[in-house]
Copies of this chain bind each other. A is one copy, B any other.
Amino acid sequence: MKKTYSYLGPIGTFTELALAQVAEAKGANLRAVTHVQDAIDDVIAGKAFRAIIPVENSVEGGVSATSDALAMNPNIRIYGEYLVPVTFDLVARPGTKLEDVKIIATHPVAYAQTRTWLSKNIKKHTHMPATSTAAAAAELLVSDSADAAIAAPTITKHYKLKVLAKNIGDNKNAQTRFLQIGLANSTPKQTGKDKTSVIVELPTDRPGALLEMLEQFATRGVNLSRIESRPIGDQLGRYRFNIDIQGHVEDAAVAEALKGLHRFSPKVIFLGSYPRADKKKSVHQGNSTNAAFTAADKWVAKL
């Protein structure tokens, strides 16, 4: 039976490009959902084998819904990450010319990220907000309330639309990072180019707790690639930290750092170890190879 991958839809958005990077998803059932939590619910309920959801955009920042869902759903784990370049095309009904465009439909975020191009090339225009870039594009074919839409390049695979202008985003390096989420029943193998994600709450009884938490990593030579604070939710001023670190839980440096966190923190959630999307080697500072750890273990064992 074919496996199902749920993803934050609709079809024709950037998530589709992430999904295209998931080798195992080739030929699988793809199921578009409208909220991050719905995708995770599919996984938990067994309706989907995995879910593909966005976690961070280089311009907009973290996707709160994803960060919080990872904290709130204990039986899920991250199995992979994918980087999708965020490029925007201006699309329209066949026959439309650029000079005809007056009303442009798109998601507010996409509109915000194409303002420079728009202000140069279509000085006089109106923005019509849409719930997604794909919805804006799809609407062009059923109504003439807008003249054009700003959408992901993948949109033309699904809708017969004409591209009026390609790659009109202000930031040519813009990217969105996606995660593959599944049930917490295994961990991808160590590849030497891995990332490990955790969520950590701080002890409340002392100032400097964040510093102490970071020292749990630094002492073992473990580098952070991202730290994001999110409200615990019970009262203002209490935060948990979603943290990505270099390396795999089978890297001894990472394992010992996680153990340190476990002792230090009133609550720490392991979200998984998985291959890095950028395929860079995990670097641990100092003498922190597994061999160095094994040598140290042997030395103490002999004492």
Query: Which A positions have Cβ atoms within 8 angstroms of B?
Result: 56-62, 64, 83, 171, 173, 175, 177, 187, 207-208, 210-211, 214-216, 218-220, 223-231, 233-237, 239, 249, 255-256, 258-260, 262-264, 270, 283, 285-288, 292-293, 295-297, 299-300, 303
**13 further interface pairs, Cβ-Cβ under 8 Å (given A61-B231, A259-B293):** A207-B285, A211-B211, A215-B218, A216-B219, A227-B229, A229-B229, A258-B299, A259-B300, A260-B296, A262-B295, A263-B288, A263-B293, A270-B299
Whether B303 lies near A236 (C-beta < 8 A) is: no
Whether A263 lies near B249 (C-beta < 8 A) is: no
Whether B226 lies near A270 (C-beta < 8 A) is: no
Copies in the assembly, this chain: 4
Whether A263 lies near B215 (C-beta < 8 A) is: no
Which residues of the partner chain B approach A216 to less than 8 Å between Cβ atoms?
Answer: 219
Whether A239 lies near B215 (C-beta < 8 A) is: no
> Which residue in B239, B285, B295 is a CB contact (below 8 Å) of A208?
B285
Whether A292 lies near B270 (C-beta < 8 A) is: no
Whether A303 lies near B270 (C-beta < 8 A) is: yes
Which residues of the partner chain B approach A270 to less than 8 Å between Cβ atoms?
Answer: 299, 303
The distance from the CB of A38 to the nearest CB of chain B, in whole angstroms, is 13
User: Roughly how many angstroms separate A59 CA and B292 CA in the complex, as a whole number?
Assistant: 32
Which residues of the partner chain B approach A62 to less than 8 Å between Cβ atoms?
Answer: 229
Given A229-B227, A256-B256, the answer on whether A236 and B58 have CB atoms closer than 8 Å is: yes
Given A61-B64, A207-B223, A231-B59, the answer on whether A262 and B300 have CB atoms closer than 8 Å is: yes
